[in-house]
């Protein structure tokens, strides 16, 4: 999958960008007021939740007190990220059918999570993915590997959200330079640390629930308005989008982006693998299964999430093609070359256009919802990674289990600060990349390092510690190194290092190579190890994962 997906440096009008910036500043006060109200409301929720957080179970798992429906909403809030709302809408607006492949991949991925991971994980673990892996293996090497993998995947995902925040607020402030984006990234990073350190899982979950409701409502409103423009005739909408795209009928057919060369076709296959398999290995999604009291509630929460997320991704079709038809690719690129502002620009158009009161109100509302989306997701990601550091690396590896719950929670809060700082610095360098493309990289790393180890641990009796370590490190290192030596990092004007060129890997999503490698290395490592897996421990894990007997 190519990060050039919606970051291609095509000729754009600087005048158009300037006009958009001017229009955005006319009603800046309204927009910033809505931003402020949401931040105040969520901070209030966070402080309230912080007062309810008494121990590690409350901080990591919200006291396991959420219902299936509440957790389904929270999972949806975690999953429907800036990549979904901003990146996918932009990808569809610029590349039509090929852009919609993101929506399909993200949705289908939930079937893997439901069928293979959700219930066994809830039954077998306690707070993190590593709890499952360490159940029948040596604690320290497995927890170290899983903890490092969780932090790396979370940081990749954090980049996408914070880049989206920078693009969004730069549009709303009407600032064309990079200073506004950088300060926005710093502010989002600071807020996410506050949410996690004060509210823990309870605060983060309630923020995600509120955000999910707002996002679905905002997206549904825009979908209705777009369809109303074309008298609820989807064919008319698609035809108008094709006409405005300048690509004609090709805009509605496969291949506009991924059918050009053999390399782009392989990129498409790599993207598909990463999206479909990555969800079941994402740390911030996996920890959500621990917040419900029973495995049945975990299963119910995933079913609710599938319904909510499915409806949302169907609506991204209207947003993307609506932006193509009503705003136009040239205007979208003039505002943001990556396409990340397509949805807010569409909202302004639907409300009456630039300079109109209705346009300003709808732009402000939708942008505030998008900002809420980003804040909620970054809080969930930071919580997952800081919890893994505190519970896996600090408590069980560094302190060898000799640590109080109070010390463990304190270390999680400090880790949230450190991870937030790293994410802020990296996000400033990644501001030119499309958010959906960045998320696809996180999916590839998760599918390469986490998913093979989880599946082997749950379903292969012979799997042992060396196999787990080989699988995690092999999948993690191969996926990250292939990204480093691809045009994501160097070799193109849209790369992280645009003035350097040391790429040799032809694909921009490593999943096609690194995911099979993660499975292969886990298998080889197990067979080459002299360590014998404990059959009694596997039998206990199997009973617990399937029935919930003995689960926390």
Give the separation between CA 354 and CA 394, rounded to whole angstroms: 52
Q: Grade residue 58 by pLDDT with cuts at 50, 70 and 90.
A: confident
Extract the tokens encoding 210.
């509120």
At residue 287, what are phi and psi to the nearest 5 degrees?
Answer: -70, -20
Q: Residue 474's pLDDT is what?
A: 95
Give the separation between CA 145 and CA 468, rounded to whole angstroms: 8
Q: Residue 524's pLDDT is what?
A: 95
Extract the tokens encoding 421.
């700082």
Q: Is residue 252 predicted with pLDDT exceeding 90? A: no
Q: Grade residue 26 by pLDDT with cuts at 50, 70 and 90.
A: low
Largest CA distance in the chain: 72
Q: Grade residue 117 by pLDDT with cuts at 50, 70 and 90.
A: confident
> Residue written as tokens 């993998």?
149
Computed on alpha carbons and rounded to an integer, the radius of gyration of the chain in Å comes to 22
Q: Which of 150, 152, 77, 164 is nearest to 437 (CA)?
A: 164
Give the separation between CA 231 and CA 225, rounded to whole angstroms: 10
26: alpha, beta or left, given left = phi > 0 and alpha = psi -120 to 50? alpha
Give the separation between CA 471 and CA 481, rounded to whole angstroms: 15
Q: Residue 261's pLDDT is what?
A: 58
> Residue written as tokens 């995947």?
153
Q: Residue 470's pLDDT is what?
A: 95
Q: Residue 2's pLDDT is what?
A: 33
Q: Residue 515's pLDDT is what?
A: 94
Q: Residue 356's pLDDT is what?
A: 77
> pLDDT (tens digit, 9 = 90+) per residue, 156-203?
888 877 777 776 666 666 655 567 677 777 887 888 788 888 888 888
For the chain, what percent of residues have pLDDT higher than 70?
A: 87
If one counts every other C-beta atom within 10 angstroms of the C-beta of residue 19, the result is 16
3-state SS class at 352: coil
Q: Is residue 366 predicted with pLDDT exceeding 90? A: no
| Mean predicted lDDT score pLDDT of the chain | 80
Give the separation between CA 38 and CA 128, rounded to whole angstroms: 30
* DSSP symbol at 464: -
Q: Grade residue 145 by pLDDT with cuts at 50, 70 and 90.
A: very high
The DSSP string of 69-90 is HHHHHHHHHHHS-HIIIIIHHH
At residue 320, what are phi and psi to the nearest 5 degrees?
Answer: -65, -50
Extract the tokens encoding 461.
């009796």
> pLDDT (tens digit, 9 = 90+) per residue, 278-313?
888 888 887 887 888 877 887 788 888 888 988 998
> Of 41-50, 254-263, 268-277, 480-489, which range is least confident?
254-263
Residue 22 near residue 527 (C-beta atoms within 8 A): no
């Amino acid at each position: 999958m190519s990060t050039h997906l919606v970051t291609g440096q095509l000729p754009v009008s600087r005048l158009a960008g300037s006009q958009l910036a001017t229009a955005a500043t006319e009603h800046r006060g309204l927009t910033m007021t809505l931003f402020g109200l949401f931040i105040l409301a969520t901070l209030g929720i966070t402080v309230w939740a912080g007062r309810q957080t008494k121990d590690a179970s409350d901080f990591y798992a919200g006291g396991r007190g959420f219902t299936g429906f509440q957790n389904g909403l929270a999972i949806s809030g975690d999953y429907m990220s800036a990549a979904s709302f901003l990146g996918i809408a932009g990808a569809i607006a610029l590349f039509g059918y090929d852009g919609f492949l993101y929506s399909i991949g993200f949705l289908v991925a939930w079937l893997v999570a439901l069928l293979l991971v959700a219930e066994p994980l809830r039954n077998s673990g306690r707070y993190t993915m590593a709890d499952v892996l360490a159940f029948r293996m040596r604690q320290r090497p497995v927890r170290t590997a899983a903890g490092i993998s969780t932090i790396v995947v979370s940081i990749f995902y954090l980049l996408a959200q914070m880049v989206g925040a920078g693009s969004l607020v730069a549009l709303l402030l009407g600032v064309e330079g990079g200073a506004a984006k950088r300060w926005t990234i710093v502010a989002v990073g600071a807020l996410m640390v506050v949410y996690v350190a004060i509210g823990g899982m309870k605060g983060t979950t309630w923020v995600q629930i509120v955000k999910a409701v707002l996002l679905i409502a905002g997206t549904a409103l825009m979908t209705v308005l777009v369809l109303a423009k074309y008298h609820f005739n989807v064919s008319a909408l698609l035809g108008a989008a094709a006409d405005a795209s300048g690509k004609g009928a090709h805009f509605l057919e496969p291949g506009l982006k991924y059918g050009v060369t053999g390399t782009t076709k392989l990129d498409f296959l790599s993207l598909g693998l990463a999206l479909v398999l990555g969800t079941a290995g994402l740390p911030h999604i996996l920890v959500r299964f621990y917040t419900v009291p029973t495995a049945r509630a975990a299963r119910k929460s995933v079913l609710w999430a599938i319904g909510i997320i499915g409806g949302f991704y169907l609506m991204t079709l209207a947003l993307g093609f609506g932006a193509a038809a009503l705003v136009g690719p040239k205007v979208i690129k003039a505002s943001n070359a990556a396409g990340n502002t397509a949805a807010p620009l569409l909202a302004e158009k639907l409300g009456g256009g630039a300079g109109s009161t209705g346009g300003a109100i709808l732009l402000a509302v939708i942008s505030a919802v998008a900002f809420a989306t980003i804040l909620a997701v970054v809080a969930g990601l930071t919580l997952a990674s800081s919890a893994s550091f505190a519970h896996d690396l600090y408590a069980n590896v560094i302190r060898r289990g000799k640590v109080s719950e109070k010390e463990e929670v304190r270390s999680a809060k400090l880790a949230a600060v450190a991870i937030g700082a790293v994410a802020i610095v990296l996000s400033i360098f990644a501001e030119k990349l499309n958010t959906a493309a960045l998320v696809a990289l996180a999916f590839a790393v998760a599918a390469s390092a986490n998913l093979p180890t989880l599946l082997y641990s749950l379903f292969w009796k012979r799997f042992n510690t060396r196999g787990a370590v080989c699988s995690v490190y092999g999948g993690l290192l191969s996926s990250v190194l292939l990204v480093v030596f691809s045009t994501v990092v160097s070799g193109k004007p849209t790369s992280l290092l645009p003035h350097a060129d040391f790429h040799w890997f032809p694909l921009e999503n490593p999943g096609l190579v690194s995911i099979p490698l993660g499975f292969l290395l886990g298998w080889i490592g197990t067979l080459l190890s002299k360590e014998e897996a404990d059959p009694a421990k596997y039998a206990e894990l199997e009973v617990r994962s399937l029935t919930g007997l003995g689960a926390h």
